[in-house]
Amino acid sequence: MGLPRIAPYDLPRDDELPAARAPWQLEPQRTALLIHDMQNYFIGAFAADAAPIAPVVENIRALGRACRAKGIPVFYTAQNGNQDRRDRGLQADLWGPGMTSAPEHQHIDARLAPEEGDAVLVKHRYSAFQHSNLAHLMRVRGRDQLLVCGVYAHIGCTLTAADAFQQDIEPFLVADCLADFSREKHDMALAYAASTFAVPLGLTRALQEIGGA
């Protein structure tokens, strides 16, 4: 129970991404960015100076800068430490008690620290939409597209994207801004999303489509 130690693996290249069933294109005036669970506890499972997490952190930084420059809202999710069963729910059966409230667990990685105007949402379940006001915050900002990046691709990132789809929000998974337990799970998440509810794309295309290249 708890998080595994994650062996290094190479991130998928643009030419390795699955074709999406959905025809959507990013439109900056409709888009929001979600930086999902990039807390020390979660990224501590990776080898810090190796792929996937080292390039993912730098890629998310670049994506965040581009989005802020274009006035695209930036949201973060972060779990609270020391959750009791009411907060943690069934996740406790699969992953144990989770993180503590110590900074080395709970804080968002300093390289990706939220900036003025960003919104940080408390995360309660796999999907960032569950027990949160993310959908409302997007609607009042006139946003119905969501760029998803962070960890872990096949768990919270994928289920957040699926939940967005169920609420008529077009989700995009930025493949080289995601990390996972293995390349196999990373690829599986992208393939499932592409066939069912989301558009996988690379950072280069995302920057081009939001005008930040």
Residues known to be catalytic: 37
Cα gap 68→3, rounded to integer Å: 32
Please provide the DSSP assignment of 54-122 as one string: HHHHHHHHHHHHHHHHTT--EEEEEEPSS--HHHHTTHHHHHTT---SSHHHHSBPGGG---TT-EEEE
Q: Mention every residue, 6+ apart, whose C-beta is less than 8 A from residue 83.
A: 92, 97, 98
